[in-house]
Amino acid sequence: MPSNKSVSDAPIVQFTNCRILRDHQLQREDLWVREGKILNPEKLFFDEKGSADVQLDCKDSIIAPGFIDVQINGGFGVDFSLATDDFRSGIDLVSQKILSHGVTSFCPTLVTSPPSVYHQVLPQISVRNGGAHGAGILGAHLEGPFISKEKKGAHPEHCLRTFEAGAFQDLLATYGSLNCVQIVTLAPEMRRSSEVIQELTKRGICVSLGHSVANLSQAEEAVQHGATFITHLFNAMLPFHHRDPGIVGLLTSDKIPAGRRVFYGMISDGIHTNPAALRIAHRAHPKGLVLVTDAIAGMGLAPGRHTLGQQVVEIDGLNTYIAGTKTLSGSVATMDTCVRHFQEATGCSVETALEAASLHPAQLLGIEHKKGTLNYDSDADFLMLNDSLYVQATYIAGEEVWRQDVSGM
């Protein structure tokens, strides 16, 4: 073929001396990046007769896709469920700070709130690419208010709603807009939820089942109508029972439509789920496990009192409770901590632990062709990690956006 160096004059960066997570395995290969995308080196050599402009020695690091957090309520003093005048600067702060946790894209999550909060906050959330300014925003995750009173967890009861005569119109009126919404968590046992699930799915919005007292057949019906996710498995749902395993039973149900996979979120912080429960879920359905932080405004802050939407919460170590109670209310764990705890608790491979925070959430959202892998032509959002899975550097679109400061270590 004729030389085709003119395909692009953008610099080509070659990351050498690394182990790349590709096709579910760590492979000793180089990673080639140009214009924010991962290059196929064979095409570069043979079609373009090209070569690297810059070579970077990764010093035997692991290179893995950037983490994707589909459930994060805030952090560093910022609460996504509070309508403030400087909401945008708050979301900017969180997106910047979570780069050090290896998160390259996320779904800002709003807990059950009054309609006025959704109407003020949602127009201020826009889908955007990540970069030096912070992690990319994939769209909002609306957790509630269409959830069960019995399993409300840390959600304020006075804000809970049901689907009335209008069903989907009730939901639209509550949220005001679905323009930037990526996920909606609802309780599938609610009357008229099936038509709401169908309407949301039709619009490309992922429906998640959670904060619910649904039995297994109600959960299966929701999946048949399009639901694909379970919000923080085991938390805020009926406990597993051998005669009716409830939502948990979806992990091994034989009534999932052909070609469909049910994913489930897990808060792997050592607090929300006993390690044995984490192991049971992982062994039952490893390809569906999605690590989430469910982090609240107190993540990254000192112990004490903080907010979660309309509630006051208290942080005591890694425990977060609604003030004055022992009701768990989100987490203060970071995504990289969750990945390490998951690997330690389950004894799974490094590859499996990393994919639960990258490939699986991308598959859940249907964006695995561009995020969550290091396949050719996908976005060059990736991490350098050491063998203990501590993040050393974070890259978005091939540019370094965070690096561990080793000067003081």
Residues tagged active-site? 294
Nearest CA among 179, 170, 175, 167 for reference residue 142: 175
Contact yes or no for 69/338 (Cβ under 8 A)? no
Which tokens hold the place of 281? 């879920």
Provide the 8-state DSSP code for 243.
Answer: S
Alpha-carbon distance of 313 to 310, in angstroms, equals 10
**Which residue numbers belong to the known binding site for Zn(2+)?**
143, 211, 232
Alpha-carbon distance of 363 to 107, in angstroms, equals 14
Contact yes or no for 69/103 (Cβ under 8 A)? yes
Helix then strand then coil, in percent of the chain rounded to 5, is 25, 30, 45
Burial class (CB in 10 A: 0-12, 13-18, 19+), 314: middle
- What is the longest distance spanned by two Cα atoms in the chain? 73
Q: Give the rounded distance of the alpha carbon of 258 from its chain centre.
A: 25
Which tokens hold the place of 206? 């992922």
Contact yes or no for 171/146 (Cβ under 8 A)? yes
How many other C-beta atoms are found inside a 10 Å radius of the C-beta of residue 85?
Answer: 7
Q: In 23-143, which ranges are E strands? A: 25-27, 31-34, 37-38, 54-65, 67-72, 74-75, 78-79, 103-111, 136-137, 140-143
